[in-house]
Amino acid sequence: KTTNQLLLKILEKDNKKYYEIISFELDVGAESMTMNFSNLCDGNQVLGNQTNQFLNENWKTILQAVNNESLTAAFGPIFKDIGNKVFSKVPKDKINPSENSD
């Protein structure tokens, strides 16, 4: 499950209103995670298996450690850029027709 939080502002262009993403944050939640990396530790199979076991036993702690800030830093600019490309072409009233014209 991923939760995305967008901070938007409204721009006016050619008498139409458009959204622009100011910031994009994401939070990834998972009920379980399995990792299996191959050729770890210069091919040392025993150490590689132990590393994979450690990662799988501690997946929740690892996910929490990299979750919010790291994932937002890594993927936030990409999603913001893609979102703004869409929002710059599609007027606000087409994205959210139930909203009034404000």
Average pLDDT rounded to a whole number, residues 93-101: 80
Predicted pLDDT at 69: 77
Strands (E), 14-100: 16-28
Which tens digit of pLDDT belongs to each residue from 15-25?
A: 999 999 999 98
Tokens of 41: 């530790």
- Longest CA–CA span in the chain (Å) reads 66
Residue 32 lies in a domain: yes
8 A C-beta contact, residue 83 and residue 6: yes
- Domain residues for 68? 2-95
Confidence tier at 100 by pLDDT (50, 70, 90): low
Asked whether residue 100 is assigned to any structural domain, the reply reads no
Q: How many domains does the chain have?
A: 1
Q: Which amino acid is at 21?
A: I
pLDDT value at 102 more than 70: no
Q: Give a yes or no: residue 7 inside a domain.
A: yes
